[in-house]
Amino acid sequence: MEFYITESQLKYIVESNKSENISDDLKELFEITKTIVNDTLEKYNIDSRLLLTWGAAVGGLVGPLDNFIRNNNFQLTNSEISLILVGVASTIVFDNEKLFKDVLDKIKTEGLEKTFYKILSKGKKLKESFIGFVTSLGVSVTNITALVRYSFLIPIISDIQSLIYSSNNPKEVVARIVERIFYSGVITVSEIILKRIISRIVKRFS
């Protein structure tokens, strides 16, 4: 697979601020999802609260897209950005036809269809790149949808790299990263698969 974003900087559609506090970063990803859900409910009366089920994972995918939109002069309001991002998330994370139809109808009404499909294309490439990256680590997950739920890792790859480079004990680094991820309180994924993925990432970058 040809990666759309490079392996060494996986967040990478856009520039974003670095932080070494994984727990806080994950909480921020959840807040991104919460914000777009609340915005679309208040402004457009679209109920997308199902996205909160995997809030940080959704944020891991739409967060970079939010930055991409804001850094490329799309001239959209915050509510319009939220509407587009909910549409993208309903497609690439949940594949929810009803939610997607409701959002797309509103997007068409607002005259945002062309912009939406441009952002959706970016989102699909980001998803494919993440799946390709994890697959390249030798992690076998039969359910692609389940794998996407680990996409909260995308914006914190740099955080993980910082921890890797600050220690020469891979097992200790894996334990610290996993602990910080679960300490955030916004992650509900398989600890076994998470440890497997983090172990392979640590090995790759060590």
CA 136 to chain centre: 19
Quick check: is 152 in a domain? yes
Q: How many domains does the chain have?
A: 1
Which pLDDT score is estimated for 133?
Answer: 85
Which pLDDT score is estimated for 8?
Answer: 42
As a whole number of angstroms, the distance between CA 64 and CA 10 comes to 10
Quick check: is 172 in a domain? yes
Which pLDDT score is estimated for 37?
Answer: 96
**pLDDT digits over 185-201, tens only?**
888 788 888 898 899 88
**pLDDT digits over 130-178, tens only?**
888 888 888 766 666 777 888 888 888 888 888 888 778 888 888 888 9
Q: Across residues 63-88, what is the average pLDDT?
A: 93
Burial bucket for residue 198 (CB in 10 Å: 0-12, 13-18, 19+): buried
- pTM score, two decimals? 0.82
What is the full DSSP assignment across 100-165? Answer: HHHHHHHHHHTT-HHHHHHHHHHHHHHHHHHHHHHHHTT---S-HHHHHTTGGGGGGHHHHHHHHH
Contact 154, 64 (CB under 8 A): yes
Quick check: is 17 in a domain? no
Quick check: is 5 in a domain? no
**pLDDT digits over 19-52, tens only?**
457 888 889 999 999 999 999 999 999 999 989 9
Quick check: is 94 in a domain? yes
For 126, the token pair is 């980001």
164: domain range?
Answer: 22-205
Which pLDDT score is estimated for 33?
Answer: 94
Quick check: is 1 in a domain? no
Three-state SS at 175: helix
As a whole number of angstroms, the distance between CA 5 and CA 187 comes to 25
Quick check: is 13 in a domain? no
